[in-house]
Amino acid sequence: MTTLSRTDFEAEIAAQLGAGRAEAKRWVDAILGRISGAIAAGDKVQLTGFGVFEPRDRLPRRGRNPQTGEQIDIPAQRQVKFRAGRELRDSAKIGGDARRVA
């Protein structure tokens, strides 16, 4: 398994669009910025076939420091949940038969 870095991603977008790296970087920045802005505003972002990004509020809770065993208070926080769309799951073989143990 390899990791696709942001720079590699931008280079591939540039190649697909037949554009320069700077233009591809602006496209990637614009798309990711729009997704981040919508989530920060509390909106859900649904990209059909790819997936859904959704902000979720977690309530404050008590936890335990694993090193000391001391109880700690964990404050409320907003997290981002991502659910992969059907086309993404199918293309990555996530779920369905891929999870079954032979």
Looking at residue 92, its pLDDT comes to 83
Kindly compute the dihedral angle of the four CA atoms of residues 16, 20, 24, 30, in this order, to the nearest 10 degrees: -140
Q: How confident is the model at residue 54 (pLDDT cuts 50, 70, 90)?
A: very high
- The verdict on pTM exceeding 0.85 is no
Domains in the chain: ranges and CATH: 1-43 (no CATH), 53-97 (4.10.520.10)
pLDDT digits (tens, 9 = 90+) for 9-52: 999 999 999 999 999 999 999 999 999 999 999 999 999 989 99
21-40 vs 6-17: helix crossing angle, rounded to 10: 120
Q: What local confidence, expressed as pLDDT, does residue 96 receive?
A: 52
